[in-house]
Structure 1
Amino acid sequence: MARTSGSHSEITGPRLRKAAQRLFAQQGYAAVSMRQIAAEVGVQAGALYNYIPDKQGLLFDLMESHLEELLAAWSVEPRGDGPLAALEAFTRFHIRFHLDRPDAVFIAYMELRNLERGNFAVIEALRKRYETELEDILKAGKAAGVFRLADSKLATLAVIAMLTGVTTWYRDDGRLSRARVEEVYWDIVRQAVGA
């Protein structure tokens, strides 16, 4: 399909995703229309389909991009030696990565219910890959006698939920610096796993 004369896909595409992400995070996926997104971008609603197949495809793209970026960033993060160092690295990484992306985080967790079955399966698989990274650290720590855990899967989900929750309350102009938040959360996580 040809683009409108004068349009620039390298500009309009990213602007479209940014506007949709902000609107979905503020109003919810179901409440946002393609016309609203188009108005934010400054194009006609029909022009959006030059960049995306439909609204569902846009939601899926936002979630998939976020999770792939998360996995890629974690894959190159230094882990240190042993499960305790790896858990600290994971804790600090998760907070740093997510604090810079509150809208993407909100959508990735709160809009799962709006994904069609096939899209949900893809996103769920990406989420499980990330969860497995933490669960493997916890299992290794339990096997080494470094962590005391009754259920590594449940501990994984609890730690991720706690760490992700920081995006709902943290403000850069608040009383705690990002570095201090990392320190406090690391202390809480360490205690939570019995280290």
Structure 2
Amino acid sequence: MARTIGSHGPTTMEAIRKAGLRLIFEHGYEAMSLRQLAAEVGIQPGSLYNHINTKQELLSDLIQDHINDLLRELEEALRDKQTPVERLRAFVAFHVSYHMTRKREVFIANSELRSLEPRNYEAVVALRGAYERRLADILSDGMSDGVFDVVDLQVATFAIIALLTGLCSWYRPGGRLTKEAIIAAHEKLVLSGVMPQGASPGGGHPGQGTRE
């Protein structure tokens, strides 16, 4: 039986969020009940309402907080990166690293969009759009500088994010490749896909070497 931890305070709210994240990941939003959530945390079902108004509110908060974390941490990863190539490498490394460690949040943010009410759905889509625009801006700057050759900006943006997020379906800690090797493999896939034929992934143009 779960230990009763009380029904007030930030400790309980954090426990509710962690339990909700796990239960939604394991059983799905529709299958999880508030009674089940309360039992997992160790409080009475009625005590949940000291912290959340509805199950829908909990789902929306979990997804929006996840994407806000994604945006905030991306900005930090891109800090001081000057060229489009440097910024794209940083984007890839950040996205891959983040998704290696936040599998539950990523899965719920993608699979439970259908469970959001219209207002919450629109808020989440707007946040996702802001993240996608950060990548689109990097690609657009590279196209303007002549270091990226992209046929369609939106297609490239969606394709790169899908490629990078795909590791959530197969990555397992302690596998054959190190984290660094997996990041390097994704960097090479992305850079080779957007740079002009014959260009170096280090950022040079065809026929040019890259500076040491």
TM-score normalised per structure 2: 0.86
* Contact in 1 for aligned 2:148/2:194 (Cα 8 Å): yes
* Counterpart for residue 178 of structure 1: 179
Supply the distance in 2 between the matched residues of 1:121 and 1:6 (Cα, whole angstroms): 34
Contact 2:6-2:43 within 8 A present in 1 as well: no
1:38-117 to 2 correspondences below 5 Å: 38-77=38-77, 78=79, 80-117=81-118
Q: Deviations over 1:89-128 (max 9, x none)?
A: 0000111112111000001111101100000111111100
Structure 1: give runs of 5+ residues left out of the alignment. none
Q: CA separation of 1:103/1:94 partners in 2, compared to 1, >3 Å: closer, same or farther?
A: same
Deviations 1:12-31 (A, max 9, x none): 10000001101111111111
Gaps of 5+ in 2: 197-212
Could you tell me how far apart the structure 2 residues matched to 1:35 and 1:109 are?
Answer: 25
Separation in 2, partners of 1:156, 1:192: 12
Quote the residue 1:154 is aligned against: 155
The answer to whether the 8 Å contact 2:93/2:183 transfers is: yes
**Structure with bigger gyration radius:** 2
Offset from partner CA, 1:111-154 (integer Å, 9 cap, x none): 10110000011111110000000000011111111111111111
TM-score by length of 1: 0.94
Amino acid of the residue matched to residue 72 of structure 1?
R
Match of 2:206 in 1: none
Tell me how far apart the structure 2 counterparts of residues 173 and 35 of structure 1 sit (CA, whole Å). Answer: 36
Bigger fraction of residues in helix = 1
Closer/same/farther in 2, CA of residues 129 and 110 from structure 1, 3 Å limit: same
- Please give the alpha-carbon distance, in whole angstroms, between the structure 2 residues aligned to 1:105 and 1:194: 28
- Cα root mean square deviation, aligned: 1.4
Opposite residue 152 of structure 1, the aligned amino acid is: L
- Once the two structures are overlaid, the 10-residue window that deviates more, 55-64 or 92-101, is 92-101
Q: Which amino acid aligns with 2:92?
A: T
